[in-house]
Amino acid sequence: MPLRQLLDTQSGRVIIGVADFDADIAGDRRRMGTLRQVDETDFQEVLDNSTVPVLVDFFAEWCPPCKKLGPTLEALAEDLGDRLTIVKVNVDKSNLAGQFGVMNIPTMIIFRGGQEVKRLVGNQAKSALEKVLEPYLA
């Protein structure tokens, strides 16, 4: 099984080296869920057409912290669905991460009125995300 490495581009150090697998850290399978995945073709449209803030999750399928964050974002989408739009960007299939200077994953960027208002890096507990999101919710 090949190893994938996430590099800190500022220091050049390996942040994480993980096996390329479908199971999360605990070994159970998890779907990416029902959150919409976007790329260059529809990203701007999502921002332009949203009347509520948009949380964009930059992730990779091989990233254990990203997989762990997935169910948290699904729960937030269910709880805050009318006040927040959540979409996902697969960094292995899109150039949007480079356009937004995303260096580590998972990275979440909150947009309001089409403009970036907050950036979070790393896995976050649902309660912590709710606290950070509250000032931006419609």
Q: Kindly state whether residue 24 falls inside one of the protein's structural domains.
A: no
Q: Kindly state whether residue 15 falls inside one of the protein's structural domains.
A: no
Q: What's the number of domains the chain is made of?
A: 1
The whole model's pTM is what? 0.76
Q: Kindly state whether residue 94 falls inside one of the protein's structural domains.
A: yes
Provide the pairing of β-strand 3-7 with 14-19. antiparallel
Helical axes 64-80 vs 126-133, angle rounded to 10°: 60
Q: Kindly state whether residue 98 falls inside one of the protein's structural domains.
A: yes
Amino acid sitting at position 64: P
Lowest mean pLDDT among 9-13, 107-111, 127-131: 9-13
Active site residue 47: no
CATH number at residue 110: 3.40.30.10
Catalytic residue (choose from 54, 66, 91, 102): 66
Number of residues written out for the chain: 138
For 76-90, the pLDDT digits (tens) are: 999 998 999 999 999
Catalytic residue (choose from 63, 76, 77, 97): 63
**In the predicted model, what is the mean pLDDT of residues 51-69?**
97
Q: Kindly state whether residue 17 falls inside one of the protein's structural domains.
A: no
pLDDT category, 33, cuts 50, 70, 90? Answer: low
The helix or strand, by DSSP H or E, that contains position 110, with its residue range, turns out to be: strand 107-112
Domain encompassing residue 106:
35-136
